[in-house]
A and B are shown apart, each in its own frame.
Chain A
Amino acid sequence: MKPLVYILLIGLIGLNGCKKFERIKGVDIEDWDPDLALAIVNTRASVDDVLNNFETGGFIDIDSTTGAMRLVYEGNLFSVTGKELTNVPDFTIPVVDSFITEQFDFPAGDVIQQADFKNGTLSYSLKSVTSGDIEVKLQFPSATQNGQPLETTVMINSNSTATGSISLANSSFDFANNNDFPVRYIAKEVANGNRVLLGTSSSITFQDLDYSYVQGYIGNYNFTLPLDTIVLDIFKNWKRGQIYFDEPKIEIKIQNSFGIPIRLTVDKFDAYTFKGGVIPLNSTQLTSGIDFSYPSISEVGKTKETIITIDNTSNLPNIIGNVPKEFYYQMSATANPTNTPTSNTFFLDTSKFNVDILVELPLYGWAKDFVVEDVFSLDLSLYEEFDYVDFKLITENGFPAEAKVQLYFEDENGNVLDSLIHKDEPVLLGAAPVDGNGKVTEEKKESIYSQFPIARYANLRDNAKQLRLVAAFETTGGGNQSVRVYPDYALAVKLGARGSLNMDEVLGE
């Protein structure tokens, strides 16, 4: 009996065990709110990184000796080539005598001493009025081809007309005497060598003359240069405040391979500014135009450079102080502006001139309450399962300028919902300390915590669609002291987020 009692007793225990398994209903995860911490942003941007990323032509130039930096914006103008300056029309010379001189039909006012042709055709039609075959030698006393006198020999049958053509490639014509061009022929009977004359209907035609070099005077020629714009996107996000660059300048650099005096006229050079509207650039160096250098007759093929610098003697500092967003300029150029004919000017078919406009802003100056603003789209739906989020922002400022920064969360209509840093008050990022020479000695580090508990975070998560960054900069000494920016200056921004993830939401319970 006893064993049976024991077995029954233990059986009851076991039975209870089986019942226990039946009571298992599920998994209790009501309190599963893991605390997740993750780095969001970790960026270190040097001056070079920030300023060299502009897409509108700006670049950083660093002096290899001093390390001084300057921001350069560039615009470019190009002229037409020498091929467009003049043209040599097709020209026919009636051969009415054994020696004739005709004037080449150049455009009015052009006095050409010499023209070299890379292409062209000389066609002839020579009529014999003699019975018997004749040999005609055509000579062009003022022309050479490949360095040799230009001439050709034509055979004409009795009482017939001979036609043909020769290439004028690599030929050179001398028009030293008032565009005159002489032609001679010597016609002899083949049978007896007697000289004869050709029929007066004979002619020579110069066609498709394509010059490679022209020496002489072409008169006034007006170059039309396109309208151009230089955008200074460094200021594009400006909202208010003052900024001043010491020693700003505008350089006009002209590279010219025309062997002709040319004058550049600045028809318009205006600055569109945020604060002062449209301000024309005024400089005495532009008033009378710019006569730029040109190669001499002994410098054929070379290029000469002319640089005009517009600096603080103009109203450029005032323009910079009014925060320009772009420069808008139009120029024109005139060849032979003084209308003085000369025989020592020339141009090649490839001759041209380039005009580069460089707006240089040395990174040396001051800023006072210089506010920039930018808006970024924001989508927090990825983080909708978080109950709350705490942000940790660390900045390492390597610039000798302090910044007051605030980030505003806004809805799709731009209404402010909240701010990232210390509600309604911007955070101050201190300026990096400088030595006696104004050079930064170490970075200034700031750590900022910003907590977004449940209700506050829920408002952002559900409604925030954009993030507005507003930053006000001021250089050392309350903005009254100029500072220089070096290439190694950098700003590091690190942002981490820590929050409680609601696993009920994640698992869809």
Chain B
Amino acid sequence: MRYIYITLFFLCYIGKTNAQQEQSLYFMDGNFYNHYTNPAKLPEYKAMFNILPTPYFNFSNTGFSFNDLFEEQGDSLMLSPQKLLKSLRKYNFLQLNLNIDPISFAFRIKKFHFSFNYAMKTSIYLNYPRSFFDLAWEGNGQFLDETVDIAPDFQAMLYNEFAIGAGYQINDKWSVGGRLKILVGGFDASTDRASATLYTNPEIYQLELATDYRVNVSAFGIPENIREGSKDTTQSNSLDFSKFPRFMGPNVGAAVDLGGTFQLNDKWRFALSVTDLGAIRWNTNATNFYSNGQYDYDGLDVSALVKEENVEFDVIVDTLVERLQFNQTQNSYTTWLPVKMYMGAEYTPVKWFTAGAMVYNEVYKRQAFPAFSLSARFHAGRFFSGGLVYGIRNRRFDNLGANLMFDLGALHIFLVSDNIIPIFAPFDARNTNIRFGIHFNIGKLKKD
């Protein structure tokens, strides 16, 4: 009964927990989805399949927490941009993922393991500079003779994933595996060039805006007038979601997961894997908005006053707006998935306890986001296993994850999160993730 209470306890706090990207899941041997982190981690059952769609939610924001955004004013909370600015770093990273696995199953034939899954995935990455908010809040007068980066870099993607996996137990020590994934894009909005800077000349405050900024968008259901760059505001500007591809579509890509494990002896095991190595090619309904150049505003030439003509000073705003030109094209483009690398070691001194360590790296748009985690996992008989995972990620040291798995015969219920500290301090939370599910495991394999 107490296990149910604990399960409910975690469920009440969905969205408030901090989490790292699938780090606790990495240490959950026996869990169906464990092989998502390394396809060489072969399941211990002859067959496994999920009963209900398995959701996964992840949110991470290095820039600020709830408390960094609001300020107490008596009984009220007021959104405080000034407080927000104090918490932001030079560059801040926001990540949001929502995946649903409606169908997933796996089976083992002797030394081979095969798997299939279909998942709907939403992936949002945003890299936003503090200087953008500084500029808006403080004004450019505080940045004389400085070049201010004002361009966010982002990728927002919705796609279907059809994955076929295979693993092979080479011998007692080595296993290898891989997954081939067919990706079908439904929506994308992303930057592949993200540079925009503003320089204010200290002489008389002339402005130099330099851009090399391109936003690519591909979506079914974009209104025709928007795609063609029409300024007609009488037509609808809303996305028509009914036109989104249900399963297959014309924007296709592929990705692979590769991995291997090495069982040194009864106690030590090492593993290495790379996942989501792939991309989607957006050929259809692709629109590109591109600005490239340097736009200078040096002040108005008032020599017309000599001719006693009028000089309109309010054209300054119009002049500045005109200088920033976005060109529009319809060219295909490619987006790469964030590649993830796992390198871990596990030590099982006794059968009911396994300690582990893992170095993780996620590469997004040529930026690396490393993490490190330590795990302690306990097996309480055959019915329950659980563990704690301590992680260091994005220069934060306050990540403590937990994983629970209930083995009720063929029915397995699991819950995993990479950070449970926000349960106690939700408004200081900057990370949260959770995955839970129920699957059937049939035919447990005996260990040699």
Contact = CB atoms under 8 A, between A and B. Distances in A.
Nearest to A392: B204
Contacts of A53: 303, 306-307
A42 B1 contact: no
Given A3-B6, A38-B205, A392-B204, A32 B76 contact: no
A39 B73 contact: no
Interface in B289-309: 297-303, 305-307
B298 A42 contact: yes
A247 B376 CA distance: 102
A29 interface: yes
B285 to A, nearest CB: 36
A7 B76 contact: no
Interface in A93-131: none
A42 B301 contact: yes
A10 B302 CA distance: 68
B171 interface: no
B78 A39 contact: no
B264 to A, nearest CB: 40
A14 B422 CA distance: 11
Given A26-B79, A32-B81, A34-B138, A39 B306 contact: no
B9 A24 contact: no
B298 A32 contact: no
A382 B75 CA distance: 38
A376 B301 contact: no
B433 interface: no
B9 A494 contact: no
Contacts, number: 139
B300 A41 contact: yes
Contact of A43 (B77, B302, B307, B310): B302
B77 A40 contact: no
B136 interface: yes
B201 to A, nearest CB: 8
A36 B301 contact: no
Given A37-B140, A38-B205, A496 B76 contact: no
Contacts of B6: 3
Nearest to A28: B78
B303 A41 contact: no
A445 to B, nearest CB: 11
Nearest to B73: A28
A23 B76 contact: yes
A168 B193 CA distance: 85
Interface in A52-73: 53, 55
B306 A50 contact: yes
B137 to A, nearest CB: 6
Interface residues of B, number: 53
A409 to B, nearest CB: 14
B136 to A, nearest CB: 7
Contact of B204 (A24, A25, A39): A39
Contacts of A27: 78-79, 81
Given A496-B203, A496-B204, A39 B2 contact: no
Nearest to B136: A34
A498 interface: yes
Interface stretch (B35-43, B115-123, B181-189, B423-431): B423-431
B83 to A, nearest CB: 9
Contacts of A35: 138-142
Interface string B183-210: 0000000000000000011011111000
Contacts of A31: 82
Contacts of A500: 139
Contacts of B426: 13-14, 17
B79 A24 contact: yes
A219 B143 CA distance: 85
Contacts of A11: 12
Contacts of A377: 310
A495 interface: yes
Contact of A37 (B1, B5, B200): B200
A11 B8 CA distance: 11
Contacts of A41: 299-300, 302
Contacts of A49: 303, 306
A45 interface: yes
A42 B306 contact: no
B407 interface: no
A4 B1 CA distance: 10
Contacts of A4: 5
B427 A55 contact: no
B139 A37 contact: yes
B144 interface: yes
Most chain A C-beta atoms within 10 Å of own C-beta, residue among B8, B13, B82, B204: B204
Nearest to A383: B313
A31 to B, nearest CB: 6
A476 to B, nearest CB: 24
A25 B299 CA distance: 41
A497 interface: yes
Contacts of B1: 3
B314 interface: yes
A382 B204 contact: no
A496 B206 CA distance: 8
B398 interface: no
Contact of B299 (A10, A14, A39): A39
A300 B137 CA distance: 83
Interface in B1-48: 1-2, 5-6, 8-9, 12-13, 16
B212 interface: no
Given A17-B16, A31-B82, A43 B301 contact: yes
Contacts of A494: 203-204, 299
B71 interface: yes
A36 B207 contact: no
Given A23-B77, A34-B139, A35-B141, A13 B300 contact: no
Contacts of A37: 139-141, 144, 200, 205
Nearest to B69: A24
Interface of B: 1-2, 5-6, 8-9, 12-13, 16, 70-71, 73, 75-82, 136-142, 144, 200-201, 203-207, 297-303, 305-307, 310, 313-314, 316, 423-424, 426-427
User: Nearest 9 CB-CB pairs, A to B?
Assistant: A34-B139, A42-B299, A496-B204, A35-B141, A39-B299, A28-B78, A37-B205, A35-B139, A25-B76
21 contacts: A2-B2, A3-B5, A4-B5, A11-B12, A23-B77, A24-B79, A27-B81, A28-B80, A29-B81, A34-B138, A37-B140, A39-B204, A39-B205, A39-B206, A39-B297, A39-B299, A42-B300, A43-B300, A45-B303, A382-B314, A495-B299
Given A7-B5, A13-B426, 16 more contacts: A3-B1, A10-B12, A14-B13, A28-B81, A34-B137, A34-B138, A36-B139, A37-B205, A39-B201, A40-B204, A43-B299, A53-B303, A53-B306, A497-B205, A498-B141, A501-B139
Interface of A: 2-4, 6-7, 10-11, 13-14, 17, 20, 23-29, 31-32, 34-43, 45, 49-50, 53, 55, 376-377, 379, 382, 392, 394, 493-498, 500-501
